[in-house]
Amino acid sequence: MINEDVELSDEDYARKYGIDRLIDFSISQDTGVSGSVDADFTDPFAPKIHDLVRLHRLCLGRKVMTVLEFGCGYSSLIFAHALQINSLEHGEFVRENLRRHDCFEAHSVDDMEDYIKLAAERTPEELRKFAHFHKNAVNMTQFNARTCTEYEELPNICPDLVYLDGPSQHAATGTVNGITTAHPDRLPMSCDLLKIEHFFLPGTLIIVDGRTANARFLRANFQRRWAYRHDEASDVHYFELQETALGKYNRLQLEFCLDNKWLLEQEVS
């Protein structure tokens, strides 16, 4: 984390970086017991200052360069804003010293055009070059004979931060042996990250917002050296790829972005 920001409250942090001018945190919402699993509930979720400030802090603290987001929303705006700051502060060093492409870009994948349109409209002109949106369908599929979902296509990027907050369990088309996640008693269960696991660079951070069953599915099937922690208070799951550097440029990236300090300090699974 940036040292002087560690002690700031969420509200003070939002004021310092102008996040409170981008997002109206006074918006409230009552989704009821079944809102998040009701196929007919399609209203965008209200912004939560703690969740969004946490993402912004992580992006700045880790000097994140490329974000892959599953499910767009207010988080898309937060990523774009944080990457703009990182570009201004670290762009010259990155361009001259690191072997990185698609730098300071957030790529958000969603199956719902209305959500993409709303997220894009929320993004001010000065942040639009940092935010990229991709509409793709979601299908029922299998991974290692386990029934799950996948997006038809993903952006061809190498993210150092992944945020898993989509798709909706009702998004998937088709069935596998009659099974679909599109049932109010089912759960989101995407396998996208498992299929590209071996492309991730050491130091990659995956954040799963809620979706505990999906986080457990990922943890049970990941094959590399991931540290894992579940923040039960916020219901957020963290996976950090704690492996030795692949070579010179990956080592430089780890030293520059993480200062050789892992976010997760517990035993690696």
Q: What's the chain look like in SS3?
A: CCHHHCCCCHHHHHHHHCHHHHCCCCCCCCCCCCHHHCCCCCCCCCCCHHHHHHHHHHHHHCCCCEEEEECCCHHHHHHHHHHHHHHHHHHHHHHHHCCCCCCCEEEEEECCHHHHHHHHHHCCHHHHHHEEEEECCEEEEEECCEEEEEECCCCCCCCCEEEECCCCCCCCECCECCECCCCCCCCCCECHHHHCHHHCCCCCEEEEECCHHHHHHHHHHCCCCEEEEEECCCCEEEEEECCCCCCHHHHHHHHHHHCCCCCCCCCEC
Flag whether 266 is in a domain.
no
Give dist(CA 96, CA 108) in Å, integer: 27
**Residue 121: partners with Cβ closer than 8 Å, 6 or more residues away:** none
Kindly state the average pLDDT of the residues 82-109.
Answer: 96
> What is the pairing mode between strands 146-151 and 138-143?
antiparallel
Provide the b/e sequence for 78-96 (b: ≥16 CB within 10 Å). Answer: bbbbbbbbbbeebeeebee
In this prediction, residue 215 carries a pLDDT of 98
In a domain, 159, yes or no: yes
Whether 213 is in a domain gets the answer yes
Residues 161-206 pLDDT 10s: 999 999 999 999 999 999 999 999 999 999 999 999 999 999 999 9
Question: Is the pLDDT score of 25 beyond 60?
Answer: yes
Mean pLDDT of the chain: 93
- Considering the domain boundaries, does residue 48 fall inside one? yes
pLDDT at 26: 86
Q: At what angle do helices 10-17 and 49-61 cross, to 10 degrees?
A: 60
In a domain, 165, yes or no: yes
CB 161 within 8 A of CB 66: yes
Binned at pLDDT 50, 70 and 90, residue 233 comes out as very high
Quote the pLDDT of residue 260: 80
Q: Whole domain around residue 91: which residue ranges? A: 3-258
- pLDDT of 1 reads 47
Least confident of 23-32, 137-146, 158-167, 214-223: 23-32
Say if 227 falls within a structural domain.
yes
- Which phi and psi (to 5°) does residue 207 adopt? -115, 125
CATH of the domain at 107: 3.40.50.150
| Of the listed ranges 140-149, 154-163, 247-256, 260-269, the one predicted with least confidence | 260-269
Answer with the residue of higher pLDDT: 27 or 185.
Answer: 185
Is 247 part of a structural domain of the chain?
yes
How does 24-62 read in b/e, with b if 16+ C-beta sit within 10 Å?
Answer: ebeeeeeeeeeeebeeeeeebeebbbebbbbbbbbbbbb
Number of domains forming the structure of the chain: 1
Q: How far apart are CA 251 and CA 244, in angstroms?
A: 8
How much is the pLDDT for 45? 76
Provide the residue type at 10 as one letter: D
Global pTM exceeds 0.75: yes
